[in-house]
Amino acid sequence: MILDGQLAASVHAAAAALQRGELLGLPTETVYGLAADSDNDAAVAQIFAAKGRPANHPLIVHVADAQAITRYAKEVPLFAQQLMDAFWPGPLTLILPRLPDAAKASTGGQDSVGLRCPSHPVAHAVLKACQQLSPPVWGVSAPSANKFGRVSPTTAQHVATEFGDDLLVLDGGACEVGIESTIVDCTRGVPVLLRPGAITRDDIERACGQRPLSKEELLAHTPRASGTLLAHYAPNAKVRLMAAPQLQSALDLLGADGRNIAVYHRSALRNASKDVHLRAMPQQALATARELFGTLRDFDALGAKLIWIETPPDSADWEGVRDRLQRAAAAA
């Protein structure tokens, strides 16, 4: 059931459902989450079951404000505090050392916990309402509301399509950011970028004075993370990334027969087939991130068997989009 997230009554119904141990489709500025009370192990287990997600892939705990992390994090290094000050509420997740009894099921018993304070007004209203319940719900665990390995949802309808009408979903509109939060591991003495997103490497360096290490440099030590599996974010169609000249040659080869092919392009292209679905990628990275997952879903819905995507620019602001596209292509 989809409820209007703007209404106070919906927000309270959603908070009460979380308190009862039920699941909720929660809008955030990045993607929609499949939410449950972080400290209710049975409720959190339902998230893993509904997603088909292996239990050793930890979930992010969402909090209403930076204050609430004291219930989950054992300590906060200075650079992590600076990142929180700069980017919370917003699309940044920090991995911090975990308090022994907090969010056990969400973290799969790991000694760290992922924390994020979302900026979406509906997410914020729900988290605030949860804090005011008796007993309060201090943290809400929410992975992206998609089946394991599939494209993340950026509208309430995507969530309903994925999980059916029984799930309560708050409609908060289309997600502003469109790709999942940037994840920075703050448990290793220096910031380590585990997942690129709208907050870039450059943004992080500006805020804390340290350039984050890439996860490749520390991969051997990082916990398993589903966002780091190569074949993730996969639409049903096979995805290929190509530079503009390669893409043009492929279209030329097709000639008039372009059935079941979708193209997401940046350059002007010659195209002789009226069957090919052409969609222009926005010039800006942020605008592309916003529409990316919806575009992949649209291509699937159009019946595309092949999706050809022009490789985006190599600059830091495109890192999050490049990452998601490379994963989608790796699944082919």
State the DSSP string of 231-293: S-SB-SSEEEEE-HHHHHHHHHHHTT--TTEEEEESS------SSSEEEEPPSSHHHHHHHHH
Shorter beta-carbon distance to Mg ion: residue 10 or 144: 144
Our finding on whether 294 is near ligand TXA (CB under 6 A) is no
The torsion angles phi and psi of 183, rounded to 5 degrees, stand at: -115, 125
State the DSSP string of 222-245: SPP-GGGSSS-SB-SSEEEEE-HH
Our finding on whether 33 is near ligand TXA (CB under 6 A) is yes
Q: Binders of ligand TXA among 132-191, rule CB under 6 A? A: 142-144, 180-181, 183
Shorter beta-carbon distance to ligand TXA: residue 50 or 113: 113
Q: Binders of ligand TXA among 183-242, rule CB under 6 A? A: 183, 194, 223, 225-227
Q: Is 130 in contact with 64 (CB distance < 8 Å)?
A: yes
* Residue 121 tokens, joined: 């007004």
43-72 footprint of ligand TXA as x/- string (CB under 6 A)? --------------xxxx------------
What is the chain's percent helix, strand, coil content, to nearest 5?
35, 20, 45
Among 10, 38, 112, 119, binds ligand TXA (CB under 6 A): 112
**Binding partner selected for residue 114 from Mg ion, ligand TXA, none, CB under the kind-specific 5 to 8 Å limit:** ligand TXA
Q: Enumerate residues 6+ apart whose C-beta is below 8 A from 278.
A: 262, 263, 265, 269, 271
**Binding partner selected for residue 200 from Mg ion, ligand TXA, none, CB under the kind-specific 5 to 8 Å limit:** none
**Binding partner selected for residue 89 from ligand TXA, Mg ion, none, CB under the kind-specific 5 to 8 Å limit:** none
Q: Binders of Mg ion among 144-203, rule CB under 5 A? A: 144
**Binding partner selected for residue 103 from ligand TXA, Mg ion, none, CB under the kind-specific 5 to 8 Å limit:** none
Shorter beta-carbon distance to ligand TXA: residue 233 or 264: 233
Q: Enumerate residues 6+ apart whose C-beta is below 8 A from 249.
A: none
Distance in angstroms (rounded) separating the CA atoms of residues 101 and 120: 28
**Binding partner selected for residue 107 from Mg ion, ligand TXA, none, CB under the kind-specific 5 to 8 Å limit:** ligand TXA
84-103 footprint of ligand TXA as x/- string (CB under 6 A)? ---------x-x--------
- Cα separations in angstroms, 81 against 98, 188, 209, 247: 15, 15, 12, 45
Angle of helix 156-163 relative to helix 285-301, nearest 10 degrees? Answer: 40
CB 273, min distance to Mg ion, A: 34
Residues in the interface with Mg ion (CB under 5 A) total 1
* Residue 135 tokens, joined: 């007993």
CB 229, min distance to Mg ion, A: 10
Length of the chain: 332
Residues of this chain that interact with ligand TXA (CB under 6 A) are: 28, 30-31, 33, 57-60, 93, 95, 107, 110, 112-114, 116, 142-144, 180-181, 183, 194, 223, 225-227
Residues of this chain that interact with Mg ion (CB under 5 A) are: 144
